Structure 1
């Protein structure tokens, strides 16, 4: 009960922290296109800012998929590839092995995409990854792409980490807070994770945002503060 009470007392802090972010900050939009487009070509912007190698590739693929009206098809094909890699350690290792010659990687991915009857967009994208030695990031790229697809449909996945399962009423309140911040028409899906190492409080991750209100982090902050020299 005491632990549940501490979780409950954290929710108002979450509400305040989330509300301080404008929607434009939560959903800034990229202007980078998958390729240089003619002036009259459809302009597409990603609904969530993505960072890093996986984020950049996922954003580029998203833009291309929206233009081709193939968003769900590409997502399904990527997820099928990920599932296949999980059942084949040899294939999974192949994608991570940078010592494999580029020509071999390209041929292998072309053959796999053809056998799986992937569309040209997915096949060409996998070839680009093979050429650039980025196949090892395909799992992360697929996850980022799925996040973009969810955002495209007005959905948001939030991962909430606590020491104990979040009580139903607290999950409901947190979900309402997130939906309030994101605006009407947004559907929030909450995934709960249990991690005793955070000691208490909450860690909320959604999009590229992380709100860390765990006792562990607060303790570390206090420890650093106490170690700082005192100036009189």
Structure 2
């Protein structure tokens, strides 16, 4: 058990041992508490060659935790951690999940951090996307894009990718941008929306008055 500024935190590796994992680091850095858990999970799963299995199990875990009956216990801040841990273990036992995933959930339950599960799942998903060479791209338009426009957009965006990278495109709609599009690709952000252009024009007009 380790004590720090946040009180007592029980320490256990996701493989169930204190063996140091060397050479199994993630392809990208994910920060924050969720990043630390996701990184440890990636290292443990890589070492045991169970990356894809753990990824699927994590998705299933989050589905289970959204069940109202289970959620009312494990997400309740007034419920004892031991009670939460038993509830989680009972749910996971029925799913026959790998020890890595079970150890993660036990660790979260022991430390009262089950509420971070969705963030950890998301962080692990980002690591897995990088592992596959996927470049996440979100395109926001005022109206849904038709198939032809979507194909042309994918072709244009693919030109920005390095060799071996794969485009993973997510299309969203937001009527408030009025027209044009907003593109998030990797670390780049490009606002080509009509709303943005109007705001820039308004600013210029005010400055010239």
Task: Find the partner of 1:183 among 155, 162, 172.
Answer: 162
Per the TM alignment, residue 95 of structure 1 is displaced from its structure 2 partner at its CA by 3.3
- Distance change in 2, residues 1:169/1:109 (3 Å): same
Aligned residues: 193
Per the TM alignment, residue 117 of structure 1 is displaced from its structure 2 partner at its CA by 0.9
- Unaligned stretches of 5+ residues in structure 2: 1-12
Q: Which aligned pairs between 1:68-107 and structure 2 lie closer than 5 A?
A: 68-86=48-66, 88-107=67-86
Tell me the distance in 1 between the aligned counterparts of 2:45 and 2:162: 26
Q: Which aligned pairs between 1:4-83 and structure 2 lie closer than 5 A?
A: 38=20, 42-83=22-63
Q: Which aligned pairs between 1:95-174 and structure 2 lie closer than 5 A?
A: 95-174=74-153
**Contact in 2 for aligned 1:163/1:198 (Cα 8 Å):** yes
**Contact in 2 for aligned 1:147/1:156 (Cα 8 Å):** no
Provide TM-score, normalisation by structure 1: 0.68
- Distance change in 2, residues 1:133/1:194 (3 Å): same
Provide TM-score, normalisation by structure 2: 0.74
Tell me the distance in 1 between the aligned counterparts of 2:169 and 2:132: 16
- Distance change in 2, residues 1:150/1:103 (3 Å): same
- Distance change in 2, residues 1:224/1:141 (3 Å): farther
Higher RCO (CA 8 Å, separation ≥ 6 residues): 1
**Contact in 2 for aligned 1:42/1:67 (Cα 8 Å):** no
**Aligned-CA RMSD value:** 3.2
The match for 2:182 is 203
- Distance change in 2, residues 1:36/1:220 (3 Å): farther
- Distance change in 2, residues 1:190/1:76 (3 Å): same
Tell me the distance in 2 between the aligned counterparts of 1:78 and 1:116: 12
- Distance change in 2, residues 1:204/1:138 (3 Å): farther
Tell me the distance in 1 between the aligned counterparts of 2:23 and 2:103: 21
1:160 partner SS: strand
- Distance change in 2, residues 1:116/1:190 (3 Å): same
Per the TM alignment, residue 225 of structure 1 is displaced from its structure 2 partner at its CA by 8.3
1:181 partner SS: coil
